[in-house]
Amino acid sequence: MHENISKQLLQEMNIRRPAVHCLTNTVVQALTANTLLAVGAIPSMSSDIAEVADFTKSADALLVNIGTLDGDLKTSIKAAIAAARDNNIPWIFDPVFIDRSRPRAAYAKELLSLGPALIRGNKGEVALLGGSPAELARKTGAIVAMTGVTDIVTDGNLEINVEGGHELMSLVTGIGCAGTALLGACLAIVPPEKRLQAVAAGLSLLGEAGEKAATQAAGPGTFAALILDQIYQISQSSLQERKE
Question: Confidence band (pLDDT; 50, 70, 90) for 6?
Answer: confident
pLDDT in the model for residue 1: 45
Amino acid at 230: Q
Q: Look up residue 183 and give its amino acid.
A: L
Q: What is the pLDDT of residues 10-64, one digit of tens each?
A: 889 989 999 999 999 999 999 999 999 999 999 999 999 999 999 999 999 999 9
As a whole number, mean pLDDT of residues 114-123 equals 97
Tell me the residue ranges of DSSP E strands in 134-189.
143-146, 151-154, 159-162
Q: Are 73 and 47 in contact (CB under 8 A)?
A: yes
**Which long-range contacts link 148-152 to residues 24+ away (Cβ below 8 Å)?**
148/122, 148/123, 151/200, 151/203, 151/207
**Non-local CB neighbours of 146 within 8 Å, separated by 6+ positions:** 120, 121, 122, 123, 126, 133, 152, 153
Model's pTM, two decimal places?
Answer: 0.94
pLDDT for position 112: 95
CA distances in angstroms from 236 to 146, 227, 233, listed in the order given: 28, 14, 5
Q: For 83-115, how does the pLDDT look when each residue is reduced to its tens digit (9 = 90+)?
A: 999 999 999 999 999 999 999 999 999 999 999
Half-sphere exposure of 78 (CA within 13 A, CB side): 9
How distant, in Å, are the alpha carbons of 26, 143, 207, 217, 221 from that of 105? 19, 19, 28, 36, 32
